[in-house]
Structure 1
Amino acid sequence: MDKKDFIQTEILEFLPDAVIVHCLGKIVFANRVAAQLAGADSAQALIGRSIEDFIPAKNSDEIKRKIKTLLKQKQQYSKWELTRVDGKTILCEVASTVIKYRGRTSILTIIRDVSERYRIEEELIRQRSYFQQLFENSPDAIIMVDNSDRIMAANPSFLEFFGYSEDEVKGRPINSLIVPRHMEEEADGISNTALNGKVVKKETVRMRKDGSLVEVSIIGYPIFINGVQVGIYGIYSDISKRKQAERDLHESEERYRKLIEYLPEAILVHVEGKVVLANEAAAKLLGAPGAEDLLGMEFLDIMHPDYLEITRIRLKMVLENGKDIPMREQKIIRYDGSFLEVEMSATWFNYKGKDAVLSIIRDITERKKAEETINRLAYYDILTGLPNRVLFKDRFMLELAHAQRNNQMLAVLFLDLDRFKSVNDSLGHRIGDDLLREVASRLKNTLRKVDTISRLGGDEFIILLPEVSKEEDVKVVTKKILSALQKPFLVSGNLLYLTTSIGVSTYPKDGEDMDTLIKNADAAMYKAKDMGGNCCYVFADSINTEVRERIFMLNELKDALAKGQFILEYQPRFNLKTGRINGVEALLRWRHPQMGLMPPAKFIPLAEETGMIIPIGEWVLETACALNKSWQDAGLPPVRIAVNVSARQLQSVDFPQTVNRVLCNTGLKPEYLELEITENAVRGNVEMCLDTLDRLKEIGVSISMDDFGTGYSCLSHLRRKDISILKINQSLFRDLNGGQSDRVIIGSIISMAHQLGIEVTAEGVEEKEHLDALERMECDHVQGYVFSKPLPRESIEELLKKHGGTSNVFS
């Protein structure tokens, strides 16, 4: 390459356009821009390639002809379609000239990609066409005016709407053409605003060629070309029908307003919850100074709290579904804060084009008073205000059905006042009536709200006690009644003493219908009279109450285990030195469907006596061990779980085998099971019990002596190696802060136990002072409400997570 070719090549390399040199159809030079245009990796990759490689086949012949012409003319400008390396076709402007390159006749071609420019130009043409079609075919009247307010173009809709031809409007000032004289100033203001580059929207009146006026909506848009405003687009829409509809609606609303204003019933119209229309009747009903004072008020603010939510729901139904709500009774709040009983309806209403609710409110105070009077006469005793026999029967039937469904008791009490006739005879019926009213008042104050007291007539009263658990509860009530009526009555200055005789019958024992129960209660009342009065007699009380309860409990206990009514609660035991949980006691509870949650003291003695404690105790043992193993499997800190063992279990020769089997079945290691026995448990057969303890100790479980110091003295048994833990009962340290002797006793027990290698647990600790004292005495463990009451499974697991590891409960 000579110096001249080198200089040319360097210049061509830095041109911003693509440059190639080709000789006899082969590329001999390409700059970097050419490589980018062709999609090649480098300019060198193009050297030696044929020009035809980049020419679409359809254009090949045409390009060959252009090259032949170029060789004659020496220079040529044209558009070529070229194909890139990736196959994409691009449109290019091409300038070619014939040159000498390296001594050979060659063609230098400069190529510029104009694909995007042509695309934009085509898009502009398409948009102009689209706009022209939109302009020509729009149903709205559209014009273009210049900065002198003269019409440059008007679409067919404009010409048709205003009645002009194109020649009549073109070049004419728009305002002189369609603006009435009296509105010229307004029209000039619209034009000036739009000519200042602002969008204008206006509803007004314009004039057609025939002089008729038409209501229109005008939108004026400024037209900019290259940032310079050259005119305005004006869009006119016919709004005559809408305006007429609005006038008609306004007239209709005005008629409605006048109608509402003069109606005698209270009417409120509210939109989006706010009152927009009210009449004077509504103001009077609500105690407002005038109807205008109600405007803007939140409609729901007048609703009584008991009716607020249901009113909100009803209004939503009206607005969303158009469903009318007929008159409903409810309460509202007046201006002075007082409550008023009303009837209220709600109807959908169109208020000035908006969804509204029209509410009619009617005062029913007088009607309710009349209904109340009628109801009182029909269902209540006029003298005392107590329910009469009709209402008593209604309530009885309801409570009887409830008792039957839920397998509950109910009781009927028949009362007759002792020596009331003498009051009437000596002081007159007026004093007697006053006395009956006082008796009724005392009875109401003595009984529950769910109980029903009725006056049958004269000095006889009958009482219904629903939801009674047992007859003992009824006797408690009768004692309260007797006590209340024994106190002297002061009636019209007379100090009167009165007593009553009460007969009791219960469902279902003494009858299953009202008449039978009242008859039996009446018979029992006469029995009470025979006994001298001022007492209570229970119908058919020959069966001992305790025996009946025992039979009931026994029957229920038989099925309790099979029905899954037993549950366990868990109380944690804390190490006084570390403050961590090191044990949990499993405590049995009976969740009875009628009697609720019962503690062990209520049923364990019966279970012990009947032998049912054996399967119950085995269930407790297996449940507690399985749970403890699950805690360990879940990664909770290992603790010892304590299970109470009854005397009956301890005296069973198979009990150690049962414990061993449970440990094997659950996978719990023996060192994590503690069996709690009481001092009294070893009294029956001492030798057998001690042998059982030896066998249990061989298994590897821990034995604790529960309630130490409260039962039979077992001090001699402490010397045995079976006992590893001594549990001090709360009764021994309840007065720990009260005297030196209590502290000496507790301290001696702890010291003695430690000398024998036995740990000491204080259970039932409820006060911080006791805790501090026990810590000073070097008690090993504590258990009680000072830290935690017995807990369900979920709660004790959370506590184990918190205090079973390194967490100190004292910190």
Structure 2
Amino acid sequence: MVKRDNTTVDHFDTIGILYKGSGSEDSVHTYSYAESSNDGSSLSFRSSMCHNGAIHGTVKPKGPMPARFKSLPLHPMPKRRGAGFPDLLSSAREKRTFSVPVPVADGTYRAFNLNTLRSSNGDMDTNIQEHLNNDIIHVQDDDIVENDLMDIVAQNDKVIIVHNADGPIGWTTVHESLLNSTAAPLTRAKDYLIDNRHVVLSLTRSVYGAHKELFSQQRSVVLVIDDQGELLGTITDRDISRLIEKGCDIWNTELANEVKPSHVLTENKPISLNDLDMVASYAERPVPIISSAGSLMGIADIKKMRRYLNSAAEITQENSTEAAPMNPISLSESMILDAVLSDTLRTGIVGTDEFLNIIYFNEAILDFIQKPELLRLGSKIWAVTDSCAISQQSLNAMLDTVKEDGEQIFANWITINEGKRYIQCRLSTVKQRAHTAGFVLSVQDITAQRNAEEAIRKLAYQDRLTQLPNRLLFEERLSLEAKRSERNGSQFAIMMLDLDGFKAVNDDYGHSAGDQLLQIMGERLLNSIRGSDTVARFGGDEFVFILPDVSNPQDVETIAEKIQDIIHKPCEINGTVFHVGASIGYSIYPDDAEDPKALLDLADTRMYKNKRENC
């Protein structure tokens, strides 16, 4: 019998679980379990971590152990039968367990353990049924965890299936039960929920529809669901901008074709730093949070979550024998201010004195800093401005201006976590009477706004069907080319093209075949011109070209013949081969006209003259 924390303890059993380390060392997590003799119900649980026999730290429990199995986080029961080695390995990796239950034909469950890989020698094609075992323990949801823990802890990492009156409700493992009952720093996803950055759309919606929703609601993430409302993954404003850059037909591309998988967190499931390592494998993808009932709630603030867990781990290790665990709700007033500024406004703020020495900064500014360790109270502001691509010379010039005008706004592209982000910086003065007491630099990530502007600009100038420049962009380029030629004394040609036989394709085979034909012809025409030339869809089955530095009719006719040969090549659509031709007319600046509209009208007249002659 021992005395600890003013409590008489009848027995104090120690259980060691061996985990193989990444190097030559093994890590032993030792779990010590004690029962108080005062009333027989007070339990304590302590874990220590050793390397080669040396104890490196002890973690105290974060409150009482869960009283009953139903209070533990449980995995949903698997329903799919016939899973192979890759499926089970993937499931174990996703759940971060050594064992998973497997449903079998008689309606019961057997266990798959990672040790099975040894006996199968890594053969993924072996019969999985031969390697299942009966390492399963069945408990009731109201069973007290502590009563069962000592009986099963010395055994292998068995699967525990938890039942209620209606049958199995979920499963866990021996090791998970231990770890979830101890005091490794944990938090819950719902404490880091961001519910104002996403929209929910069906997988059948178009990418263009997603873009429109994000822009109109000023959101940045689409949570894509299937017909049953299950989450498939995410697509972001940056994903859509990249698709536009690649020339994707966003009007006719469904989200199902572009959705990216995402790690998902459940609102109340305890989360540790190890869990965040799994999340990190999804790079910069948004991490959705679902409720305990499975409904979508929003996006997790992973950076904020990691900062808390790192801080909690440091405090727990430093004060492992005395200090109580850190509670994320116990924030000081300054931390609450930081949270409001970071989450609501998403603005990083740095305050300096009149000599540019930092006297205040919030947590959000760390997201914009390449070397956060250089940012500290009393240091100069250069750690911030260098990360924001602002030279000291530029900053000094802006400081001179801001002293007179009171505020300066500027924007830059910067690299954050190997990704390009567009930030807006606002520099203002803090006045005390007539004296400048200091400066405030605020930084906002406005990439979503910038991307939306770029996307809309491209959409305004791009033909929806062929992805070629549309009539609006063509007319702007024509005006610029006329001014350039006038300034340089050079010449250029305008060439109009109308497809012969296109109407028959539309009438006989439908508009879908006609659209595909236009797409094919648009791609052929684009591949046939020089980099300095422009080909645009003018409307219907008409295309128009700007050919800079073409000075005589013979050159234009040579180009026209080449393009007619390209158009005349057979075109197969859905198993049917089509043959179409082209009627072409052209005009040359300034020989035929100097006014851009007059040049277009003349080329159009000549094209229709040739079309009538070809009929």
Please report the TM-score for the alignment, with normalisation by the length of structure 1: 0.29
The structure where helix makes up a greater share of residues is 1
Please report the TM-score for the alignment, with normalisation by the length of structure 2: 0.38
